[in-house]
Amino acid sequence: MSEPLSPVVVGAGPAGIRAAERLVRAGLRPIVLDEGQRAGGQIYRRPLVEDGRSYRGRYGSEAGKAQRLHQAFEALLPQIDYRPETLVWNISHSERGNQLDILSAGVHRQVDFSHLILCTGATDRVLPFPGWTVPGAYTLGASQTALKAQGCTVGDRVVFMGSGPLLYLVAWQYMRAGARVQAVLDTAPLASKRHLLALAVHAPRIVALGVFYGLQLQLAGVKIRYGVRPEAVLGTSQVEGLRYRRRTPAGEVVESIACDALAYGFALRAETQLADLAGCRFHFDERDRVWLPERDVLGRTSRPDVYIAGDGSGIAGADAAEISGELAAMALLEDAGRASADVARLVAARNRILRQRDILEQAFPFPADWFETVPAETTLCRCEEITVAEVRRTIASGSITEINRLKALSRVGMGRCQGRMCSAGAAELLSGACGVTADKVGRLRAQAPVKPIPLNFGGGKPEAWS
Amino acid sequence: MTRRLSVDVAIIGGGLVGSSAALAMRKAGLSVALIDKGYCGAQASGVNYGGVRRQGRPPEQLPLSQRAHRIWSQLGAMIGMEAEYVRSGHLKLARTEKDFAKLEAYAETVRNYGLGLELVAGSALSKRFPWLSAQAVGASLCPEDGHANPRLVAPAFARTAERAGATVLELTPVRAVAATGSGFAILAGDDIEIRCRQLVNSAGAWSDHFAAQFGEPAPLTRIYPSMVVTEPLPLRLPMSMGEQGGSFYGRQVARGNYVMGGGRGLPLADPDFSRPSVKAASSVMQRAIALFPHLADAQVIRFWSGTEAEMPDGNPVIGPSETTSGLFHAFGFCGAGFQTAPAVGEVLAELVTLGRTTTPIQAFSIGRFRKVAVETAASL
């Protein structure tokens, strides 16, 4: 008999649940640590209190997948060590081996692991504009979370702005939920949507759904605009509207629209701090203009005992996440000499989704002009309250060419969010100022704790649980 | 294409020592090249706690420290920014009567150096420092000690030196260095050749590598601070804190964050990088709450560490090489170089121009380690 395995899965979304399921099938009892109160992740987030809505009502076209994933998790529960509401805030070494530092109910503990599968998911990618921190301005993901988990909307008259497939989906969900959707303001030009035609060949369902959401919104009289650039949130203590520019055949026009809430986002960004703290090697992903942990097709990282799956290893969506979670577990089992399985079918399925995703992203291109058009007075780093102007000044006066140096001299990325919200914008500003591509300015190094922890976290004595 | 430079002095290492030396040497009219493998002030000079502290230093460091104290008072005029420098006072706590006796003995030892130490004990402590819990039996206050933002100071010295005419070469590792008879030849970066009459080795934790090339082994070890930062909180802690024994130090920065340290971090696989240890950080966090009950509900948002150099006797190496004419060393500040570094820069400028300095530095001679090595060899 080989060494006992003590695998830990971080995250109980689509990737984490499928990874745990595969480990259980091989006779293991993984520890599953999740920050959420209930398993399901962001996309299949479950309500804290049942509110009478059906799966169909809550998850729409994805109801079947949500239900299957939740049922799979319920079936796993007796066979896993599941710890909800648990933050993994550090990865460390000691004489004892590898540990995760976790925080649960305000208490710090350390969890040993032989193998780690990181399924840490994604958050909205934020590109600041004047007023993005005014109460009433939410990210697209947060707006959707409010609806799914709490059955409420972020406002009555809501404007949706930004880019990415979530833009139309969440707007449509809000309309269905009874909110008055004032407009969908797409930062991508209409011409970029031609890529959807190419996508329709490979993934007719995705395109059909997208077109369906768009048409339903239009039929309901919702204003849809393309090539939009936000100018400013109107209102100072509460969102009262949005002023924006857009290109028209007659030239650029500035328009305003009234609303009491704004939902915005520019696609998603992978949560990679734990992979960084684990010492995984990173590479620059051109498509998403972001540094990601290196991974092979199964999810092996550069560190032999750490695997990665789901959107935390690169944005590919929930279906790919489920597959990659299972693949990462299969790689782990194979590496530990426990099982070898035929992965070809799953790898092919995931690759198909990745190819579709590449096309889909072209329909929602990144607003590459952001760094030069964002107004100087915009707050870039909301934790440290640093404006775009201050960042530009620091870059110029210190001849800065590297992102960690920018952090040291400007405080950008030093606050509560540790750069999770501001680093995309900071990297764009820096690379733009230096006249280089975003990969040339380096990667913000992660520091523990990946999210704030209480100073008083249990007397400072970590107790390993058995 | 190869870039060729010829300067009076080349300085390897753009930390606060090297940067302030470059500025002092430009003021003395010398041509200077300041060379750093990364960015100026990004290692120990930038990642240290930020204490601008004389109290607690061994007496042999105090003349240098007092000289630095005068420079710090001119900081804003010198580098064009205050860098959050405040003479807040440094309060060193004693947990026990025995520790307090040590503080008393120290105050007596350094009585003639002009630190102006005040000893406070018993009930006077809570009267004078009401923000402190009853965790200490006494304390020693150095009213004119303080703190500054280490991330800003050294880069500002380097930029000021550059504006004053120094050639600052960042991201330029020194690949080879050798004495030429009339000076030194350096190969740096991809294709930079530097000739200089005199050479300063202020490469911090990397200095032993350069000293060894001139036949001067330096018993340098690397140390890694373990720092904890809270979220910004209302300003309440008016001074920089330390403890006899050194297990806890803390200050509240202008932004409101409490910056606290104690214990040591751990190197990563690449020993140029390190992380705080959870054990050390936990101990700092526990002590912080004991000392400052108002922090009970605070959140920690960030740890940090870095690479510093320590010498076995707790003193730095400052002064001329004993093997190579024209070479000067300044490294190994043992986690306490931030305050003294600007004076070290001036001392180095005196050494390269005059061959002597007005500040006593005999205790910091690199030769002290050669003697130890010889004695050890003899006793075997």
**Which amino acid makes up residue B150?**
P
Residues of B in contact with A411 (CB under 8 A): 255
Residue with tokens 């240890």: B277
CA distance B232 to chain A (A): 9
Predicted confidence at residue A460, as pLDDT, reads 46
Average pLDDT over every residue of A193-205: 89
Is B203 within 8 Å of B333 (Cβ atoms)? no
Q: Is the pLDDT of residue A122 over 60?
A: yes
Per-residue pLDDT tens over the stretch A210-225: 999 999 999 999 999 9
Distance of alpha carbon A40 from the chain centroid: 14
Per-residue pLDDT tens over the stretch B260-291: 999 988 888 888 888 888 889 999 999 999 99
A408 pLDDT band, cuts 50/70/90, is very high
For domain A370-441, the CATH superfamily is BFD-like [2Fe-2S]-binding domain (1.10.10.1100)
Q: Measure the CA–CA gap between A266 and A186, rounded to whole angstroms.
A: 10
Q: Is the pLDDT of residue B113 over 60?
A: yes
Nearest to B42 among A90, A408, A447 (CB): A408
CA distance A263 to chain B (A): 27
Per-residue pLDDT tens over the stretch B341-377: 999 999 999 999 999 999 999 999 999 998 766 666 6
Nearest CA in chain A to B260: A455
Across the interface, whether the CB atoms of A455 and B275 are under 8 A apart is answered no
Task: Report CA-CA distances (Å) from A348 to A260, A327, B356.
Answer: 45, 11, 74
CA distance B346 to chain A (A): 24
Q: Please give the structure tokens belonging to residue A240.
A: 């009262």
The answer to whether domain A126-266 has CATH 3.50.50.60 is yes
Predicted confidence at residue A466, as pLDDT, reads 39
Q: Judge whether B204 is closer than 8 Å to chain A, CB to CB.
A: no
**Domains, chain B, with CATH or none:** 3-49+151-219+312-379 (3.50.50.60), 89-146+222-310 (3.30.9.10)
* Domain A7-123+269-360 and domain A126-266 have a common topology: yes
What length does chain A have? 466
Q: Is the pLDDT of residue A465 over 60?
A: no
Provide the mean pLDDT of chain A.
93
Provide the mean pLDDT of chain B.
94
Q: Measure the CA–CA gap between A43 and B306, rounded to whole angstroms.
A: 39
In angstroms, the first-to-last Cα distance of chain B is 53
Q: Measure the CA–CA gap between B359 and B337, rounded to whole angstroms.
A: 16
Q: Is the pLDDT of residue A458 over 80?
A: no
Q: Please give the structure tokens belonging to residue A143.
A: 């707006």
CA distance B185 to chain A (A): 28
Residues of A in contact with B159 (CB under 8 A): 397-398
- A449 prior amide bond cis, ω within 30: yes
Q: Measure the CA–CA gap between A276 and A272, rounded to whole angstroms.
A: 6
Q: What percent of chain A has pLDDT over 70?
A: 97
Residues of B in contact with A409 (CB under 8 A): 151-152, 155
Predicted confidence at residue B378, as pLDDT, reads 60
Burial class of residue A4, CB neighbours in 10 A (0-12, 13-18, 19+)? exposed
Average pLDDT over every residue of B66-82: 97
Q: Is the pLDDT of residue B78 over 90?
A: yes
Across the interface, whether the CB atoms of B298 and A405 are under 8 A apart is answered no
Q: Judge whether A456 is closer than 8 Å to chain B, CB to CB.
A: yes
Task: Report CA-CA distances (Å) from B157 to B19, B20, B167, B168, B205.
Answer: 5, 6, 13, 11, 20
CA distance B240 to chain A (A): 19
**Ranges of each domain in chain A:** 7-123+269-360, 126-266, 370-441
B247 pLDDT band, cuts 50/70/90, is confident
What is the C-alpha R_g of chain B?
Answer: 21
Q: Is the pLDDT of residue B134 over 80?
A: no
Per-residue pLDDT tens over the stretch A30-77: 999 999 999 999 999 998 888 888 998 888 889 999 999 999 999 999
Average pLDDT over every residue of A311-322: 96
Nearest CA in chain B to A110: B278
Per-residue pLDDT tens over the stretch A254-283: 999 999 999 999 999 999 999 999 999 999
CA distance A270 to chain B (A): 20
Q: Is the pLDDT of residue A1 over 50?
A: no
Q: Measure the CA–CA gap between A458 and A109, rounded to whole angstroms.
A: 9
Nearest to A455 among B39, B276, B285 (CB): B285
Nearest to A454 among B152, B299, B303 (CB): B299
CA-wise closest residue to B240 among B258, B256, B223, B227: B258
Task: Report CA-CA distances (Å) from A120 to A308, A314, A447, B278, B348.
Answer: 8, 11, 16, 22, 51
CA-wise closest residue to A405 among A426, A380, A428, A374: A426
Q: What percent of chain A has pLDDT over 90?
A: 84
Phi, psi of A463 (to 5 degrees): -115, 125
Q: Judge whether B79 is closer than 8 Å to chain A, CB to CB.
A: no
The answer to whether domain A7-123+269-360 has CATH 3.50.50.60 is yes
* Contact partners, residue B66, CB within 8 Å, separation at least 6: B54, B113, B114
| Per-position b or e across A229-244, b if 16+ CB within 10 A of its CB | bbbbbbbeeebbbbeb
Q: Measure the CA–CA gap between B327 and A206, rounded to whole angstroms.
A: 70
The lowest-confidence range among A95-104, B13-22, B34-43, B251-260 is: A95-104
A182 pLDDT band, cuts 50/70/90, is very high
What string of H, E and C letters represents the secondary structure of chain B?
Answer: CCEEEEEEEEEECCCHHHHHHHHHHHHCCCCEEEECCCCCCCCHHHHCCCEECCCCCCHHHHHHHHHHHHHHCCHHHHHCCCCCCECCCEEEEECCHHHHHHHHHHHHHCHHHCCCCEEEECHHHHHHCCCCCCCCCEEEEECCCEECCHHHHHHHHHHHHHHCCCEEECCCCEEEEEECCCCEEEEECCCEEEEEEEEEECCHHHHHHHHHHCCCCCCCEEECEEEEEECCCCCCCCCEEEECCCCCEEEECCCCCEEEEEEECEECCCCCCEECCHHHHHHHHHHHHHHCHHHCCCEEEEEECCCEEECCCCCCEEEECCCCCCEEEEECCCCCHHHHHHHHHHHHHHHHHHCCCCCCCHHHCCHHHHHHHHHHHHHC
Average pLDDT over every residue of B207-233: 95
Nearest CA in chain B to A402: B39
